[in-house]
Chain A
Amino acid sequence: MSLWRRWAVAGIAIAFALVALVRFSPKVPDRYAPLLNSAFLSSREQRLIHYFGECEPAGYGYLKRVLTAYSRIEPSLLKRPVIRYRDYNRRSEYLFEPTRFEADPSVLVGVWLTESDLREQEIGSAARGADGLWRIAVDRDFDLLTRIEVESESGTAQHLRLQLYRSERDSNPIWTSTADVATVGQVGRRTFQFVATPPLRQFRYGLVEPFVLRVDGGLSIDRVTAYGVVVDMQGYRVVHREGDCFTAVEDKQRDRWTQLTHELEGAND
């Protein structure tokens, strides 16, 4: 082998070794720190609780307790309560054995949900695009869109029209509302409320693209803000709470789930 080839081979080998060293440096991610704990190695249940939590982030411990009580009352092996999170559907039911695919709306389990997630709150502010449309990017699911707030400078327009599109690709608005600008009677910056009556239900599940607002009327718009409810609890009553996790049952089926409530309360004692 010629000298230059030897040098080339040595150079390539050193380069590979360096890259390998950097890539495989022995830094153990935090996720695997408990591996040193023998209890963690010997119990799958502990591992699931470690990764998915008692209540947050995925509520494995709490869900397991609810499901144990639930399965004593509900004979079907395929049914489970509706499970709701503050951000998106984590499908934690796949963790359970047997897996229950059929959601039973008469029981709702909230995981890592605070009181504010059950009330109207700001969903997001819109950003104005070059095409004059307003887009609101939301990275989580929510049940209800209750209102849109528009702030504008004063102008001469009589009406302000708002059109809401579920996504960029939709050609037809899912909601149109008009505000009578002339009756507001304010000078300077003004705020208009476009209230959806009734609220727009099941507004956003699993969509990743922004929803789009068109505001017409000749006014200079400063800010557009959407308000909604992450988890709509209308028709449900919370019967058990543990930190940021809770169980709620449908009002009309409360009697059926009395035993569930007792069992969960008993588990707390």
Chain B
Amino acid sequence: MIEFARISLIASAVALIGPLGVGWLWATALTHLGESHPTLGMNYWLGLMSVGALILLGHGLGLSQTLVVLLVASASAAGWVLRLMRNYQQTRPGLTTVLPLVPLAVAGIGYCVLDPVQMWDSYLIWLARVRLLEQWTSLSRFGDLGIIYPEYPYLGSAAWWWTEWTGRVPVESGRVIFLFTYLAFFLAVLARQERTMSIRVRLLWVFFVYACFSPEIINGYQDGFLMASAGMVALAFLQWGDRGAVWIMPLAAGLSLIKTEGAIVSLILVVCWFGSNISRVATVQANRVDRRVLLFGTVGFVSILAIWPSLQLHNGLDPANVQGAAFRIRSIGIVVSQADRFPAILRAIGLYYAQRPWITLPFLAAVAVSLVPGERLDRQRRFLLGFVALHLLFVMTIFWLTQEPFEWHLAAALPRLLLQGRLVMFLFVFETAILWWTRLEHMSIARQPVPSPQRFAEVAHTGRAQTKRTF
């Protein structure tokens, strides 16, 4: 019992301290850029992504383990020093917010410490990388050692290794970072609505914290981590908007370092964000600052996307071998001959969502109330809805093109791939619920629902509510 408590405490402390320290560096940098502070949950995720990316980059470039450890430790320590020296006006989760998460957190930590990583390929793909990082085996040797899918990136495994290594705890305990990322996402969602006191919104939030949870998130597989990270990027776009693109776009591209399909997920996020407000194109073109933000954001996005293929090339792996036997660049040439797969794919997706009414029904209800005549979808929800649609299309395309045995691949991978979009679906439901349930005075003018031109006139120009102006 004492051993269990000791490992749980050490693993949790280490999993929080390192990433949060690096997260404070992000907070300082954003303050310096004149942006608003990230919330504590966002801070954690920013730090964790940075820790994982630093290790992956250092390892892939062949730097020594000592140097990489020193770099990460210094960055974290510097962040904590800055945090202690400056007094951030940051939203902290209150006791009433944290308490409902405690049972899940305790159960999750218990699972990570007590339940070893299962002997299934889906988990061992990532455990193998943690083990190789323990030995600091060069990336160039990954192909020779008989590990599963040596061409996969491993940001999540790198952060996992950091937790295990610094805490000197058994390897399975390092998975607590994935639990904390998941919880951090929900804390960040609620913190963004700090002025919202509606009990219904809080209940909905607690319901979804538990309903969206799945052991897939913490058992070592990376789709749960990708899901939480995609949710965080979406949240960052919602919070910082177009001006944040200069750093959110490269951050989004970081998803490609978690899993290969993260590259496409990040592309969908970016396209949907900018596509959600096409009318702004002219404004952006006319505005020098906006143009530069977009330019630097795009350069950063492409640069981060190029990291993993470059590391593969540098280490003698084949970047054209994107996803094992499932997808190769040449798969595109056979799309027409496999079009008859669509009915089976649609059936499987339908069955998946029919078995999960706790997300399907609220999502469909939110779509229904958002699209009724007279309602006007605001940009945030256009973005989220666009992501859900394009992600679904992406998942369908994967099975359309797959070179693995079709039925087997569909049954084995569909739930995990659909999991990646779950938190964005939740965000859509939550944003819609906020609009429906929150009193108008608790919302910024830009987020208020605009069901009709008449209503808009009441909201935006109270004194002219009776005017007949049309929009």
* Chain A positions near chain B (C-beta within 8 angstroms): 9, 12-13, 15-16, 19-20, 23-24, 31-32, 35, 38, 40-44, 47-48, 51-52, 58, 78, 90-92, 94-95, 97-99, 101-103, 168-169, 208-209
Which residues between 116 and 162 of chain B lie within 8 Å of chain A, taking CB atoms? 116-117, 119, 121, 124, 127-128, 131-132, 134-135, 137, 145-148
**A-B residue pairs in contact (CB < 8 Å), sample of 24:** A12-B365, A13-B200, A15-B361, A19-B211, A41-B3, A41-B4, A42-B2, A42-B3, A47-B115, A47-B116, A52-B119, A90-B119, A91-B119, A91-B121, A91-B124, A91-B148, A94-B131, A97-B171, A98-B134, A99-B134, A101-B131, A101-B137, A102-B145, A208-B405
Q: How large is the interface on B (under 10, 10 to 19, 20 to 34, 35 or more residues)?
A: 35 or more
Contact B119 A42 (CB under 8 A): no
Whether A41 contacts B116 in the complex (CB less than 8 A), given A94-B124, A101-B137, A101-B145, comes out as no
A41 & B114 in contact (Cβ 8 Å cutoff): yes
| Closest chain B CB from A35 CB (angstroms) | 7
Whether the Cβ atoms of A43 and B124 lie closer than 8 Å is: no
Binary CB contact string for chain B from 167 to 187 against chain A (1 if under 8 A, 0 otherwise): 000110000000000000000
A172-B128 Cα distance, complex, nearest whole Å: 35
- Give chain A's interface secondary structure class: helix
Please report the C-alpha to C-alpha distance between residue A15 and residue B403 in the assembled complex, in whole angstroms.
Answer: 41
Q: Please tell me if the beta carbons of A13 and B203 are within 8 angstroms of each other in the complex.
A: yes
B457 to chain A, nearest CB (A): 22
Indicate whether A98 sits within 8 Å of B3 (C-beta atoms), given known contacts A16-B358, A48-B116, A58-B119. Answer: no
Bound: A58/B207 CA distance, A: 38
> What are the nearest 9 A-B pairs in CB distance?
A209-B405, A99-B131, A90-B119, A101-B145, A41-B4, A19-B358, A42-B3, A41-B1, A208-B408
Q: Does B210 contact A (CB under 8 A)?
A: yes
Answer whether A208 and B404 are a contact pair too, CB < 8 Å, given A44-B3, A48-B116, A90-B119: yes
Chain A positions within 8 Å of B119 at CB level: 52, 58, 90-92
CB-based contact B146/A35 at 8 Å:
no
- Indicate if the CB atoms of A9 and B4 lie closer than 8 Å: no
Q: Which residues of B contact A47 (CB under 8 A)?
A: 114-116
Q: How far is the CA of A13 from the CA of B124 in the complex (A)?
A: 40
Kindly state whether residue B357 has any CB partner on chain A within 8 Å.
yes
Q: Verify B200–A9 contact, CB threshold 8 A.
A: yes
Report Cα–Cα, A78/B405, bound state, in Å: 34
The CA of A41 and the CA of B109, in the complex, are separated in Å by 13
Cα distance, A101 to B130, chains bound together (Å): 13
Instruction: Considering the complex, give the chain A residue whose CB is closest to the CB of B173.
Output: A44
Within 8 A of A (CB), among B80-132: 110, 114-117, 119, 121, 124, 127-128, 131-132
Complex alpha-carbon distance, A83 and B176, angstroms: 30
Whether A42 and B358, one on each chain, are in contact in the complex, defined by CB atoms closer than 8 angstroms, is no
User: For residue B357, which residues in chain A have a CB less than 8 angstroms away from its CB?
Assistant: 19
B-chain residues with CB within 8 Å of residue A35 when the two chains form the complex: 110, 114
Residues of B within 8 A of A95 (CB): 116
Mark each residue of chain B from 197 to 232: 1 if its CB lies under 8 Å from any CB of chain A, else 0.
Answer: 000100110010011000000000000000000000
Q: Are A38 and B210 in contact (CB under 8 A)?
A: no
B412 to chain A: closest residue by CB: A208
Cα–Cα, bound, A103→B147 (Å):
12
